[in-house]
Amino acid sequence: MSGGILTIDLGAIVANWRALDAKTAETVETGAVIKADAYGLGVGPVGQALQKAGAKTFFVALASEGVVLRESIGPSARIFVFSGYMQGDETAFEEFDLTPMLNSADQVMRFMADRQGTAYGLQLDSGMNRLGMEADELASIIAQIPTLNPVLVMSHLACADEPEHPQNAEQLTAFNEMAATLPEHRRSLSATGGILLGPDFHMNITRPGIGLYGGDPFMDARPVATLSLSVIQTRPVAVGESVGYGATWVATRPSIIATVAGGYADGLIRAMGPNASLYAGKTRCPIVGRVSMDLITVDVTKLTTVPASLDILNATQTVDVLANAAGTIGYEILTSLGNRYKRVYKD
C-alpha cells in the first residue's frame, strides 16, 4: 500500500489517561480534551477508548467537533465546547446535547434567551487574555442573573509548562477570587501542565490533552503514534551528485538514497529536513535534501536491505523530537498529521 501508515496505540492513550488520573486525588475527576480530531489521531476511536476506560467528561474546541464526538460515543458523556455558544451553532447544541463554556456576557445572554434550564459552564479569564470573562464582566452578569448555576467554571493557564513561572500562582489566585463570587459549583483550571503543578491546581476536574497523546510536558507519557512511510524507490548517488530541490545536499561518498511517500502536505514540516531522520527498525537514516510536498529523500547507505517502509515517528523519534527538529512543539506535529495517511488503531 502506498503512502503512509499512522498507527495509533489506543492502549497507550488509555494508559496515559490513567497515569494522569493517578496524579490527582480520588475525588478529582479526569476529563479528556479531544479537540482538533483528538489532536489529529481520530476523535471517534480515541473518544470511544477513553469512554470505555471510564472518562465521563470530554472537551472540544468547536460545536462541530462535539457533534462528531457525540455520534461516536453516544448520549451518556458530557461534552463541553470551549468556544461557547457561537451564532450558527444553536441547533448543534440542542440536537447533540452539547454544553457550552460561555465566554462573554453576550454568550450568556443569548444562551439564556434560547436554552434556559439546560446545562452550561462559564469560562473566566484569569490572566491569559484569550477566552473567558474578566472580573467586571462576570460581576455584571451576576447582577443581571442572580440565579446563575453553571455546571462547571473553568479557566486556562498560560504558563503551566513552566512550573517556576510566577503567572501560575497569580492565575490560581485570580481564578479562585473570581469564582468565589459565584454560587456553589465545580471548578477546573488545569490541562496537562497544570496537573503536574500539584494539588492546588487540580480542583474538581482536570482537562488533559497533549499528555494523553504522548507529548511534553508529561514526560512519563507512553508514545502513541507510529508513522511509517512507504519507500517508493532507491537509487545509488555518486560523489558530487545532489539530491532534491535546490541541490542542497551533495554526496561526499557513494550513497544509496531512498525516496519515501510523505512530505509537507502530510504535515511533515519542511523546516525539519536536515535535522530529522527516518528509522529502519532501530537504525537511524538521516533525511537528505529538502522535504518536498509529497516526498522525502533519505540516506539509507548503511542498510544492508532497505525495508518496504521507514518510520518517521516511533518510540525514539517521538512527536517532541520531531517538533524540535522543525522548531515547533509536539502539539503542532500531531495536529498537522495529514489525512492522506491510513490510520490504523491498536488496543
Ligand X SMILES: *Cc1c(COP(=O)(O)O)cnc(C)c1O
Rounded Cα–Cα distance for residues 202 and 160 (Å): 12
| Residue 108: CB minimum distance to ligand X, A | 18
Member of 58, 207, 221, 229 binding ligand X (CB under 6 A): 207
Minimum Å gap between C-beta 215 and ligand X is: 8
Is 183 exposed, middle or buried (CB count within 10 Å of its CB: 0-12, 13-18, 19+)?
exposed
Task: Verify binding: residue 102, ligand X, rule CB under 6 A.
Answer: no
| Residues with catalytic roles | 35, 245
Smaller CB separation from ligand X, 306 or 329: 329
Of 208, 273, 289, 330, which lies in the binding site for ligand X, with binding defined by CB under 6 A?
208
Least distance (Å) from ligand X to the CB of residue 245? 34
Per CB under 6 A, which region of 70-78, 136-144, 165-173, 204-212 contacts ligand X? Answer: 204-212
Cα separations (Å) of 181 from 59, 117, 167?
25, 21, 22
Residue 287 CB, nearest approach to ligand X (Å): 28
Question: At its nearest, how many Å lie between ligand X and the CB of residue 268?
Answer: 21
Stretch in the footprint of ligand X (CB under 6 A) among 91-99, 185-193, 196-204, 264-272: 185-193
Among 17, 58, 80, 82, which residue interacts with ligand X (rule: CB under 6 A)? 82
Task: Choose which of 168, 192, 309, 317 interacts with ligand X (CB under 6 A).
Answer: 192
* Grid-cell match 557513494, residue found: 254
Of all residues in this chain, which one has the CB nearest to ligand X in the complex? 209
Measured CA to CA, the distance from residue 21 to residue 27 in angstroms comes to: 10
40 counts as binding ligand X under rule CB under 6 A: no
Task: Give the CB-side neighbour count of residue 106, counting CA atoms within 13 A.
Answer: 4
Identity of the residue numbered 89 = D
Kindly tell me the burial class for residue 25, based on how many C-beta atoms sit within 10 Å of its own C-beta (0-12, 13-18, 19 or more): exposed
- Give the three cell numbers for residue 333: 506535529
235 CB neighbour count, 10 Å cutoff: 12
Please identify, using beta-carbon distances, which residue of 124 and 298 lies nearer to ligand X.
124
Angle CA 77–224–209, to nearest 5: 45
What is the CB neighbour count within 10 angstroms for residue 222?
Answer: 16
Contact 115, 91 (CB under 8 A): no
The 122-161 site mask, x for binding ligand X (CB under 6 A), equals ----------------------------------x-----
The residues binding ligand X (CB under 6 A) are 33, 35, 82, 156, 191-193, 207-211
